[in-house]
Amino acid sequence: MTLAPFARRKLTVTVNETLGAYRILRVADPQGPKPQAGQFAMLAAVTGWGGGEQQRPYLPRALSIARHSSGESHFMLEDVGPGTHTLCQMAPGEELWALGPLGRPFTPPPPGGRALLVGGGVGTAPLAILQDQLQEEGAVPHLALLGFRDLQHTHGASLLRDARVASDDGSAGHHGLVTDLLREELDSEDERSAVVYACGPPAMLESVRALCSERSTPAQLALEAPMACGFGACFGCAVAKRGGGYLRVCVDGPVVDAHELEFVGDHAGPPTGRPGA
């Protein structure tokens, strides 16, 4: 697992581009550790953060790393609150603080396994870098299934190659939930060796967990949760685990094996693009 230096770094925004309802923020980080799929970074703007009439935002935001290429880290954001709004407004040349990569990443499937990548909304982000890494590590066979609310949000599917898309309103791809597509794949004879990798809103992850549990299909879930510190000190992102006790999403996750959870609940975070907004 890639471990971040225990200090934040001042980085420069290189690109801020629109992708439908989302923004793709690219940040120069040539000296930082190379992230692994599923890890995240804590981000905050150098200026205009923690100031103003209401003093918001005042904590960094945890954002999944969507891609790392040519010394740049890419982040997928949706403007849903004070933190993501500020980050979405950043222009090339402006600076931000970054701590990361942090957290437990995805684990590749065993030899002969096939990866099913299942994303919802900004949960697409960690699946993009996962797809990159699967191809780098020997072209592991995989299929990407992505779900979005409407046509404007389905533009996020372009982060991955050859993804099958579902939309809630039927404006693109399958009219319905991405878990409908997953159910079809899991019920096919070809998917007995499948490993599911999922990230998205809590309701989607719970549906993925239940589907995989019914079929004894291994699944790794990248949880979304509001975070304050990112390294396990504050316990603000704790979620209940099967058999009692808690997992801290920032250090015991964000990627956890589905069998570790009895249920994926709403505490797993507001829908933004992180694991926290």
> If we measure between CA atoms, which residue out of 173, 223, 198, 214 comes closest to residue 115?
198
For residue 42, give its domain range: 9-102
Please report whether residue 21 resides in a domain: yes
Please report whether residue 187 resides in a domain.
no
- Summarize pLDDT for 240-267 with one digit per residue, the tens: 889 999 999 999 999 999 999 999 987 6
User: Does residue 204 lie in a domain region?
Assistant: no
Residue 2 in domain:
no
Is 24 within the bounds of a domain? yes
Round to the nearest angstrom and report the end-to-end CA distance of the chain.
Answer: 24
Establish if 186 belongs to a structural domain: no
Token pair of 270 as six digits: 């507001």
Interval 23-76: pLDDT, tens: 999 999 998 899 999 999 999 999 888 766 665 677 899 999 999 999 999 999
pLDDT at 64: 96
What's the CA angle centered on 169, arms 167 and 171, to 5 degrees?
70
| pLDDT reported for residue 54 | 62
pLDDT at position 269: 42
CA distances from 93 to 24, 26, 45 (A): 15, 11, 12
Cβ atoms within 10 Å, residue 132: 17
> What is the domain-level CATH number for residue 31?
2.40.30.10
The reply to whether 28 falls in a domain is yes
Q: Is 181 within the bounds of a domain?
A: no
Task: Check if the beta carbon of residue 207 is closer than 8 Å to that of residue 145.
Answer: no
Give pLDDT tens digits along the chain (277 positions): 655 566 889 999 999 999 999 999 999 999 889 999 999 999 999 988 876 666 567 789 999 999 999 999 999 999 998 899 999 999 999 999 999 999 999 999 988 889 999 999 999 999 999 999 998 877 678 999 999 999 999 999 999 999 999 999 999 999 999 999 999 999 986 667 899 999 999 999 999 999 999 999 999 999 988 788 888 888 888 888 899 999 999 999 999 999 999 999 876 543 334 444 4
The predicted pLDDT at position 275 comes to: 46
What is the model's pLDDT at position 270? 36
How big is the chain, counted in residues?
277
* pLDDT at position 190: 66
Q: Cα(112)–Cα(138) distance, rounded to whole angstroms?
A: 11
How many domains is the chain built from?
A: 1
Residue found under tokens 């099913």: 116
